[in-house]
Amino acid sequence: MPEIRLKSINNFILKNANLQIRDKEFLVLWGKTGAGKTTLLNVVAGLAEYKGSVLFDGIAVDELSVRQRKISYLFQNLNLFPHLNVRENIGYGLWMRGESKKAIHSRVDEMLDLTDIEHLAGCYPQKLSGGEKQRVALARAMAPCFKIMLFDEPLNSLDFHTARFIRKEIYRLQKKSGITVVYVTHCFEEVFALADRIAVLNNGEIIQVDCPVNIFQENNCRAVSEKGYCDCHSEEKNKSTDLELKHTGVLCHSKNG
């Protein structure tokens, strides 16, 4: 657990969105700017209004607030609290849930170690580089140990090498902790490095859900290529696909999602 199911979600952007995200799955939401990716994340988190139903493990959570849904959410602009240092930022979620000081300290130490930022524990966010901020935000989002994590283009502002490193970290942490991840990105490389399946959005509609190979291979990618997301027939991208799949060990669970 948990499995996430969206049933007939409608709001100011999304149009009759239906989606099933499996337990421990890494699902990437892919699409142009304004396609409704972030709105879909906000619906899952309970931060956007909607009609329809969101179910976690078959139980409707529509009436629950974002706090009650127990979801980790890594926002696009990270939103590290400027008045709290790295340690306090990471421990914030645990503090808000009434954990003891000892438990917070121990879990924060664990997250500092996991994201390799022990040396930054006492620093304030203004002093950190982009990559360091990213790691702190990742550690903060993961500290409460929730089973669902939402990422909204978390690597957007990073340089290529840092982005690649953090991406590997996210992949490793997801596989290690077995959480269900919904991840928004525009980046082709991220899709292949991370996704178990991809949900393609266009103008608020989910137009295709499948594993990366099926989405981007010649005979299956028509919906994607027609919408102009990529040139799936490009030889280079097919090569890149093979390489990335080999590199990350991403497997296609099911052809039809």
In the complex, the residues that contact other proteins under the rule CB under 8 A are 45, 47, 65-67, 70-73, 75, 77, 79, 81-85, 92-93, 96-97, 124, 126-127, 140, 144
| 8 vs 65 by CB, closer to other proteins | 65
Helix or strand run (H / E) with residue 18: strand 17-21
Helix residue ranges per DSSP H, the chain: 37-45, 66-69, 86-96, 101-114, 130-142, 160-177, 188-194, 212-216, 222-226, 235-248
- Residue nearer to other proteins on the CB measure, 15 or 67: 67
Minimum CB distance to other proteins smaller for 82 or for 178:
82
Query: Of 2 and 212, which CB lies nearer to other proteins in the complex structure?
Result: 2
To other proteins, the closest distance from the beta carbon of 48 in angstroms equals 11
The Cβ of residue 174 has, within 10 Å, a number of other Cβ atoms equal to 21
Q: Which amino acid appears at position 26 of this protein?
A: F
CA 37/CA 202 separation, integer angstroms: 9
Distance of closest approach, residue 73 Cβ to other proteins, in angstroms: 4
Q: Quick one: which of 161, 205, 179, 218 has its CA closest to 29?
A: 205
